[in-house]
Structure 1
Amino acid sequence: MQKSTKLMFALGALLVVAVGFSAVRSQERSAAEAAPSAQPSIITQHDVTGAWTAATAAIRQPLPNGMEFQTDPPPFFDDEASGPEPVYSPMLPAQIAARWWRCAWIDASLHPGSSRATVAPEEARSVVDEWNDMPGMRGNEAFVDYDARMASAAREAGKTPFALEYELDCGKLVYTPES
């Protein structure tokens, strides 16, 4: 094979590689531009407020009368620790928002006479079951038997499931209704 033929093959191969590389990069850019709403792989402290707003807006089930989601993320997301900035799973704000919603219904059933709406425990029980269909909860294996585990723990503690859940899972880090 002559030198000029080898050179032509080399240039041709280089051209094919360059065009292929350029096409792949172009496709990556197009995919990134076409899906700006694609979920990030992590949420940083800087992203928490926007993620909380989006998570609460995605919940279509109503809160008890007179209740609204707080505008600021709950204290769970406060960064008071020293060290590296915390990062969160993209689904965590949706899970916390669903928990906040559930706690609002439990609170309304447990604390009649508060400034918030009072809800009969039976009504609250029928409503809180909807949390399994909320964003962040749907298909989440960690919560499939949550109610059964809470009922079992409540029996052992001599409390109602709602009273124990409010005490253990609503707490100061997740459910902090504005008065």
Structure 2
Amino acid sequence: MLTRQEVSTEWAKAVAASKLELPPGMNFPSTPPTFFDGEPGMVYLYEAPLVDHFVMNFWRCSWISTELKAARSKVPIDSARFEKVNEQYRLSLPESSRAEFDLYIAGAPKWARSVGREADDAVALIYEADCASLTGEVTK
């Protein structure tokens, strides 16, 4: 188990050791995501693998962000890259979580329609749900 202070050290180690390639111009943050901040005065303990998961999730989100920026510039989303990134992320998950992730991704177009958005906007919806808190970006 890691304390908040130990999370900062482990984050730096995980980022330095990461072999994940980020999109051009993007870097891993020097500090862990705000998820690890918690409430002032409270003591939190985190499982060590959670840090690696957040590094992997930041990597995934950085590629999704890149695809969304391209789409806003009228460049079609590179669906092959999106699928490759999601597959690499999927394989990083515990095997017991992979089927749930598959259903989540497959259901995103229906989810988009259910909230009044176009099915093609599913990637943006996934980004908003999974990534905006990591990067501070919004897609609207």
* Higher Rg of the two aligned structures: 1
In structure 2, what is the equivalent of residue 50 of structure 1? 9
CA-based RMSD of the aligned residues comes to 2.6
Unaligned runs of 5+ in 1: 1-41
- 1:64–1:119 CA contact under 8 A, matched in 2: no
Q: Which moved more, 1:66-75 or 1:140-149?
A: 140-149
- 2:23–2:62 CA contact under 8 A, matched in 1: yes
Q: Distance in 1 between matches of 2:7 and 2:104?
A: 30
Give aligned-pair identity as a percent: 28
Shift in Å at residue 55 of structure 1?
A: 2.3
Q: Distance in 1 between matches of 2:107 and 2:71?
A: 29
Q: 1:97 to 1:128 in 2, by over 3 A?
A: same
In structure 1, what is the equivalent of residue 50 of structure 2? 92
Shift in Å at residue 53 of structure 1?
A: 1.6
| Pairing 1:142–2:101 present | no
Unaligned runs of 5+ in 2: 114-118
Q: Distance in 2 between matches of 1:153 and 1:168?
A: 11
CA deviation map 1:127-159 (0-9, x unaligned): 33212344xx3x352244313323214323223
Shift in Å at residue 119 of structure 1?
A: 6.8
In structure 1, what is the equivalent of residue 116 of structure 2? none
- 1:63–1:104 CA contact under 8 A, matched in 2: yes
Count of residues in Structure 1 that have an aligned counterpart in Structure 2: 128
In structure 1, what is the equivalent of residue 128 of structure 2? 167
- TM-score normalised per structure 1: 0.61
Q: Match for 1:157 among 96, 105, 112?
A: 112
- 2:4–2:45 CA contact under 8 A, matched in 1: yes
Q: 1:149 to 1:44 in 2, by over 3 A?
A: same
- TM-score normalised per structure 2: 0.75
Q: 1:126 to 1:141 in 2, by over 3 A?
A: same
| Runs of 4+ with >6 A deviation | none
